[in-house]
Amino acid sequence: MSVLLISADLMTSSKVAPACAAAGLSCVTALNGATAADGLSPTTRWVLVDLSAPGLRPAELVAAVRASTAPAARIVAFGPHVHEAALAAAVAAGCDTVCSRGEFFARLPQLLAS
């Protein structure tokens, strides 16, 4: 099983990768929305979306995941709590879970274990 992380932030990657390893999952990182589909595979269980990633269009991303080889992957979007419009766009796009960055990191081990 694997996780696709969409984020250009090295600090985010450095926190997510060890959490994935601890859950027995491999982690693939896409630096932006344009290259995200390249990281999907039939074993992708989670798509973790940093809403600050460049070129990210939540509605297009959700549609691409659902039409991919990993249509059942759970999509979790996260971003700064002050970016209310971006969080709302992720909800409207159909992400399975949308939360603030702080909540995401606090819940990450539990999310990956479920």
- Quick one: CA dihedral 57, 94, 19, 71, positive or negative? negative
pLDDT for 89 beyond 90 = yes
Q: Tell me the C-alpha distance between 32 and 8, whole Å.
A: 7
DSSP 3-state of 114:
coil
Q: What is the pLDDT of residue 103?
A: 97
Q: What is the average pLDDT value for the chain, to the nearest integer?
A: 93
> Considering only 31-35, 40-44, 78-82, 109-113, which range has the smallest mean pLDDT?
31-35
At residue 112, what are phi and psi to the nearest 5 degrees?
A: -70, -25
37 falls in which pLDDT band (50, 70, 90)?
A: confident
Cα angle vertex 36, ends 16, 40, to 5°? 80
Q: What is the pLDDT of residue 83?
A: 87
Q: What is the pLDDT of residue 7?
A: 95
Q: What is the pLDDT of residue 114?
A: 84
Helices (DSSP H) in 8-55: which residue ranges?
A: 10-22
pLDDT for 87 beyond 90 = yes
75's tokens: 């999509």
At residue 43, what are phi and psi to the nearest 5 degrees?
A: -95, 0
- For 57-82, what is each residue's pLDDT tens digit? 999 999 999 998 889 999 999 999 98
Q: What is the pLDDT of residue 19?
A: 96
> Considering only 22-26, 30-34, 82-86, which range has the smallest mean pLDDT?
30-34
